[in-house]
Amino acid sequence: MALIKSVRGKTPVIGAACYLSENSTIVGDVEIGDNCSIWFNAVLRGDVHYIKIGNNTNVQDNAVIHATYQKYPTNIGNNVSIAHGAIIHGCTIHDNVLIGMGAIIMDEAVIESNSIIAAGSVVTQGTIVKSGSVYAGSPAKLIKKVSTELLEGQINRIANNYNMYSSWYKE
């Protein structure tokens, strides 16, 4: 069972049919929707502000989600994949987004729907990634628009695969 810990009178709320790995950590003011998966060594630390995650979202191994004290909560939509080792901090991520491995999303950034942040990218504070964009680099910049192939072949495929993978661990 995951480490689920109350802090400052706030206890995480976990939706239906979620998979939480045994060594994931979920602390404080965190709300996770239905059909989500939180993978090995992932940390969701809602001690300084809230973290809200929609449905069908996966937070992969070693990812960290946090917020900024009294300033910037973290809001994550539906059908989002946060890949291995990503850092999500005090930002907003809309629906149908893929955050690549090792990417960093900083305070006040907004990642609009149907977008991809490439592996290793750094989305700096206050950046707005428009819907349907692929951003890459450090600092991350627009490199192209999301095609139907990328939407189906990456964003949706990965989110759906993580639902399947989590079912293997629920048996």
**Coil/strand/helix, residue 169:** helix
Residue 50 has a pLDDT of 98
Residue 100 has a pLDDT of 98
Domain count, the chain: 1
Query: HEC states along 45-109?
Result: EEEEEEEEECCCCEECCCCEEECECCCECEEECCCCEECCCCEEECCEECCCCEECCCCEECCCC
pLDDT band at 166; cut points 50, 70, 90: very high
Domain extent at residue 161: 3-170
**Coil/strand/helix, residue 158:** helix
Residue 135 has a pLDDT of 98
- Report the pLDDT averaged over residues 2-22: 97
Query: Residue for token digits 């004290």?
Result: 69
Q: Is the pLDDT of residue 171 over 80?
A: no
Q: Is the pLDDT of residue 18 over 80?
A: yes
CB 116 within 8 A of CB 97: yes
* pLDDT tens sequence across 142-161: 999 999 999 999 999 999 99
Q: Is the pLDDT of residue 89 over 90?
A: yes
CA–CA dist 118, 5 (Å, integer): 32
CA–CA dist 121, 111 (Å, integer): 13
Residue 1 has a pLDDT of 81
pLDDT band at 54; cut points 50, 70, 90: very high
Q: Average pLDDT over the chain, rounded to whole?
A: 97
The bridge status of strand 140-145 relative to strand 133-137 is antiparallel
Phi then psi for 142, rounded to 5 degrees? -65, 125
What's the CATH number where 103 sits? 2.160.10.10
Residue 170 has a pLDDT of 83
Note the maximum CA span of the chain: 45
Instruction: Number of helices (H) and strands (E) in the chain: give both, helices first.
Output: 2, 20
Side-chain-side CA neighbours of 161 within 13 Å: the count stands at: 12
